[in-house]
Amino acid sequence: MIVALGWAMLLSGAPTLQFFVAAIGHKLPFDMPAISQATILSGFGLAILGALQTGFGALKQFFDAVVARTARPSETAPAPRKNPDIKVVERGRLKDRPYVLFGDGTIEVETLLGLRRFTSFRDAREFIG
């Protein structure tokens, strides 16, 4: 709306007003074409800011949903090990992430969100991607 107002002032009001004022021998104390152009640019600037605010708001909602989803404990993963009798079978790296394989078949992998426990290598690979 602000852009439309600026264009309306520029195309209709500004030249006509300056012509009539100049015809009677006076000068306007302000520059009407410059005000019209500033109004147009301000309108475009506000429209761009509104689009950025909407876009970044949607991006924030997306990342909040991702964090909430990954913060929930996995339904397939068992509770953290409390049994000290479970032995470490193997240590290694899965797609550049350290892991520990236990005797009961579970695997702990260091993820971006911290240490996570999975029931199998397949589940860990699916989670990491």
Look-up: residue for tokens 């240590």? Answer: 91
Q: Which pLDDT band, with edges at 50, 70 and 90, does 80 fall under? A: low
Helix axes 32-71, 14-23, angle to 10 degrees: 160
pLDDT tens for 20-48 read 566 666 666 666 677 777 887 888 888 88
Nearest to 17 by CA among 6, 7, 28, 8: 28
Q: Which pLDDT band, with edges at 50, 70 and 90, does 109 fall under? A: very high
User: With pLDDT > 90 as the criterion, what percentage of the chain qualifies?
Assistant: 8
Contacts of 97 (CB under 8 A, 6+ apart): 109, 110, 111, 128
What are the percentages of helix, strand and coil residues in the chain, rounded to 5?
Answer: 55, 20, 30
Domain boundaries, the chain: 2-71, 88-128
CA distance 91 to 101: 6
More confident residue, 91 or 86: 91
> Does position 83 have pLDDT exceeding 70, yes or no?
no
